[in-house]
Amino acid sequence: MGPGICKMPELQQHADPVTSVSQPALLPERHLFAVHTIAHLFNLERYNDSQQAADGSLSSVLSDLHQDGSDKWLNPIHSNSTTPAYVTFTSIPGLTGVIITVALILMVTSSMEFIRRSYFEVFWYTHHLFIIYFAGLVIHGIAGLVRGQTEESLKKYSPQRCAQYLVYRDGRSTHHHCKEPEFGGIPTESWKWVLAPILLYVFERILRFWRSRQRVVITKVVTHPSKVLELQMHKKGFNMEVGQYIFINCPSISLLEWHPFTLTSAPEDNFFSVHIRAAGDWTENVIDAFQQQKPKIPRIEVDGPFGTASEDVFQYEVAMLIGAGIGVTPFASVLKSIWYKFQHADQSLKTKKIYFYWLCRDTGAFAWFNDLLVSLEQEMEESGKAGFLNYRLFLTGWDNSIAGHAVLNFDTVTDVVTGLKQKTSFGRPMWSNEFSAVATAHPKSVVGVFLCGPEALAKSLQKCCHQYSRLDPRKVKFYFNKENF
């Protein structure tokens, strides 16, 4: 997972503020894959049992038909010495089945959250086994291991009428209306299902490669507390909206790794920026490379931008923005854009009130966007809209010395932790109280709740959205928008 971003291309947007409709859960693809594989293993065992059987049963007789080298057989196990394992590893369907099964198992296990967060490179490279997976899937059925009676044979031999005549000592039908049945492979059609997605994927990869090769100029490098690096960049033709993200590649670190990062700049800026937090080998190497700048500043490639739920923040009359740690990055873009709109007296701004909550574990994190918040405070006072932005900063990790110092200086004009006029709160918000206050202050508004943070916090906020939304369509409603942390 990209360590300087609050999202991957997956996001959840819950449009229903009141009810949660339960729908039948579809089995994940890997579960259906397991069912498919296990069914084939049972099939091979049945084929083997039929070949070994000497009881004159219909399955035994059918297994003995056309074992003279022709391709009209039904049972792929042609002799008593042939085993299911031999068929599995010597036939095209069997061998490709083993390969795509191993590929899928590796992709699924490397997709676990622990692997993605702690060993991103393992997840990244292993996931490219999808190329082998789809190649194997296309050719998996071309050998016709699964067979059925041919259409021509069905005209001469009706299974319902003629099956009983096969069960004789020599296994041959003696009824004058029943010819010996012939079997053929069922035509493979898997390529029809994967061709369109593969073509779309190839087109997208070509487009993204072309975009990523366009020159990126790094205009400014800023080192922030808590091992956070800010990169300000310029790229010809680059256009963005608030809260979007980009993929970044640093060829000197890795030619193949692309990591997503939230844009922290505003569309009105003459540059675009990201904040990269040290959260793994790749990010630590990038930060070290820019701090050392030996022999020259590293080259960066950029792909994007890509959209997220935060783009819709200005579509709501009232918005609640909640960021946890580096999860504040999409909202930095939103707040910067608001600052520009105030400066230019933008009358098209639909949003009338923003509640901003930032939860951090250490005091150094607040310095990332401290200047932005100071500028916003000043700009809103000068424009007569001091009540437009209500922001709260929460310090979730502290020691007694910090708390004692804050208590002793509580009556000062500015906060001792951040230097802002808004005092820092110690601990976590009581979300029920926050939602209740917003619902009371805006009894007839549509409130957009935007989160960039961990899953546990998302569950709490989603519950509050349902709890404090009113059934009456004329009263307050909370819409929850989540981006993956």
Nearest to 365 by CA among 336, 324, 337, 318: 324
**Domain 311-482 class?**
alpha beta
Using the predicted structure, report yes or no on whether residue 246 has a pLDDT greater than 80. Answer: yes
Which strand ranges, in their side-by-side order, compose the sheet holding 272-277?
Answer: 216-224, 228-235, 272-277
- DSSP tag of 468: H
Residue 461: per-residue pLDDT: 92
Residue 12, sorted as left (phi over 0), alpha (psi -120 to 50) or beta, turns out to be beta
Q: What is the pLDDT confidence band of residue 9, given thresholds at 50, 70 and 90?
A: very low
Residue 282: per-residue pLDDT: 86
Give the pLDDT mean for 119-123: 81
Look at 69 and 408; give whichever has higher pLDDT.
69
Strand duo 245-249 + 259-262: pairing: antiparallel
pTM: 0.64
Q: How far is CA 436 from CA 320, 467, 469, in A?
A: 13, 10, 10
Cα gap 38→59, rounded to integer Å: 21
In the Cβ-directed half-sphere of 122, how many Cα atoms lie within 13 Å?
A: 14
Cα gap 421→413, rounded to integer Å: 6
Cα gap 312→307, rounded to integer Å: 10
Cα gap 340→346, rounded to integer Å: 8
Cα gap 247→259, rounded to integer Å: 5
Indicate the average pLDDT of the chain: 77
Q: Looking at the structure, give the CATH architecture of the domain made up of residues 217-306.
A: Beta Barrel (2.40)
Give the pLDDT mean for 284-309: 83
Q: Which of 14-18, 141-145, 168-172 has the highest mean predicted lDDT (pLDDT)?
A: 141-145
Residue 347: per-residue pLDDT: 72
Give the pLDDT mean for 40-56: 76
Tokens of 12: 């959840």
Give the pLDDT mean for 136-159: 76
Cα gap 107→102, rounded to integer Å: 9
Using the predicted structure, report yes or no on whether residue 356 has a pLDDT greater than 60. Answer: yes
Tokens of 74: 């039904």
Residue 449: per-residue pLDDT: 92
Give the pLDDT mean for 11-18: 34
Look at 334 and 4; give whichever has higher pLDDT.
334
Residues 6+ apart with CB under 8 A from 152: 182
Using the predicted structure, report yes or no on whether residue 42 has a pLDDT greater than 90. Answer: no
Residue 38: per-residue pLDDT: 83
Give the pLDDT mean for 346-373: 77
Give the pLDDT mean for 237-260: 87
Look at 334 and 407; give whichever has higher pLDDT.
334
Give the pLDDT mean for 312-336: 83
Instruction: Map out the domains of the chain as residue ranges.
Output: 28-190, 217-306, 311-482
Which element (helix H / strand E) includes 400?
helix 400-408
Using the predicted structure, report yes or no on whether residue 19 has a pLDDT greater than 50. Answer: no
Give the pLDDT mean for 12-28: 36
Give the pLDDT mean for 264-279: 86
At 394 the three-state DSSP class reads: strand
Look at 272 and 399; give whichever has higher pLDDT.
272
- DSSP tag of 449: E
Give the pLDDT mean for 434-459: 89
* Percent of the chain clearing pLDDT 70 (strictly above): 79
Q: Which of 69-78, 373-382, 410-419, 476-485 has the highest mean predicted lDDT (pLDDT)?
A: 476-485
Using the predicted structure, report yes or no on whether residue 27 has a pLDDT greater than 60. Answer: no
Q: What is the pLDDT confidence band of residue 16, given thresholds at 50, 70 and 90?
A: very low
Please identify which residue in the block is written with the tokens 């979300």: 431
